[in-house]
Amino acid sequence: MPRPLTTNDQGKRALERLRKIKPFVQASLTLTKKRCGNPRCRCAQEGPLHEVALLTWKEENRTRTLYVPMQLRPEVERWVQEGKLLKRLVAEVSQAQREFLTSKKKSRKSNKG
């Protein structure tokens, strides 16, 4: 017996994509320039400064940051993109379920009337 329909087409599509979600992080990747702190490095005097990648996110209303090593930047960028996709899909499924509820309410009304 087929399972009763508990979502609509939009919900089905979003759920299918959700099942294929890859590692993600809900944060943003920012590039900034910094002095490394070594007093003998040329950045301490004239520069150029070092380009640094930071992962930033909010935790209990505080902005947290984490240093991202150069060789991991492309990978972490993928996690960030996947995190954005996840957020979008969560919103899509939520919307689909609300619409599903609304359509049930309507069809019940029209059946009675």
Complex with Zn ion: residue 53 or 86, whichever CB lies closer: 53
Measured distance CA(90)–CA(14) in Å, rounded? 8
d(CA 55, CA 51): 13
Smallest gap from Cβ 52 to Zn ion, in A, equals 10
For residue 31, the cross-strand partners are: 53
Q: Which is nearer to Zn ion, 51 or 77 (CB)?
A: 51
CB of 66 to Zn ion, least distance (A): 20
C-beta separation of 28 from 83 below 8 A: no
Q: Decide whether 43 or 86 has the Cβ nearer to Zn ion.
A: 43
Name the strands in the sheet holding 50-59, side by side, starting at the edge strand that comes first in the sequence.
28-34, 50-59, 62-68
CB of 30 to Zn ion, least distance (A): 19
CB of 75 to Zn ion, least distance (A): 25
In the complex, the residues that contact Zn ion under the rule CB under 5 A are 36, 41, 43
Q: Element (H or E) spanning 69, and its range? A: none
Nearer to Zn ion, 50 or 78 (CB): 50
